[in-house]
Amino acid sequence: MASKAERKRQHILKSGTKFILEHDFNALTLDAVANYAGISKGGLLYHFPNKDELLKGLADYVFEQYTNLFYEYAANDPADKGKWTRSLIQVSKWDLENNAKLNIGIMATSMLDPNMTKEMSKGYQHMQSKIEQDKLDPVDASIIRLAIDGLYYSQLLNMAPLQKDLREKVIARLIDMTK
């Protein structure tokens, strides 16, 4: 069972995530998150001594959810061939639909401080190795991953994103390519 301090830390991270999704990344302040979480600013500062640490904590928290869901989708896939690649497609779709505002802020912050996303980079590299060993041609699996990355970032950055109907058809085609 998690300690009281760890439960409070998780509460702050969950609250910070919800705050950003309800408001905007630019509205994120230590005071705003403390108020939203219903704790004192001192309580927040105990876990996150500054905004940069809170941002890193939020990035890690969101990526942990992403990683857990990646493994969950793969574990629930009855077909062994292509399951990791399908899982990556599904978790990327979920993340885009649920965390877009948060991810834009994390991406912008990580451009200023690449150390912030060092662990996420390692985790994503691990996912790449999983899809390369997915009983698919590794080149095909990598092309699928790069296509899903392109879909993801074109929508996230609002750079000629596809309409929802076409995006869903592209995702379905990518999933078909894993079978």
The pTM assigned to this predicted structure is 0.87
- Per residue in 137-176, pLDDT (tens digit) is 999 999 999 999 999 889 888 889 899 999 999 999 999 9
What per-residue confidence (pLDDT) applies to 84? 97
Q: Which residues of 115-141 are buried (b: 16+ CB within 10 A; e: fewer)?
A: ebbeebeebbeebbebbbebebeeeeb
For the residues of 116-133, what is the DSSP string, one character each?
A: GGHHHHHHHHHHHHHHHT
User: How far is Cα 95 from Cα 76, in angstroms, rounded to an integer?
Assistant: 18
Long-range pairs for 40-49: beta carbons < 8 A, 24 or more residues apart: 43/8, 44/12, 47/5, 47/8, 47/9, 47/12, 48/12
Q: Is 14 exposed, middle or buried (0-12, 13-18, 19+ CB in 10 A)?
A: middle
Which two three-digit tokens encode residue 35? 């108020």
Q: Which amino acid is at 22?
A: E
- Where on the phi/psi map is residue 135: left (φ > 0), alpha (ψ -120 to 50), or beta? left
User: How far is Cα 58 from Cα 32, in angstroms, rounded to an integer?
Assistant: 14
- Per residue in 45-102, pLDDT (tens digit) is 999 999 988 988 888 888 899 999 999 999 999 999 999 999 999 999 998 888 776 7
The helix/strand count (H/E) of the chain reads as 8, 0
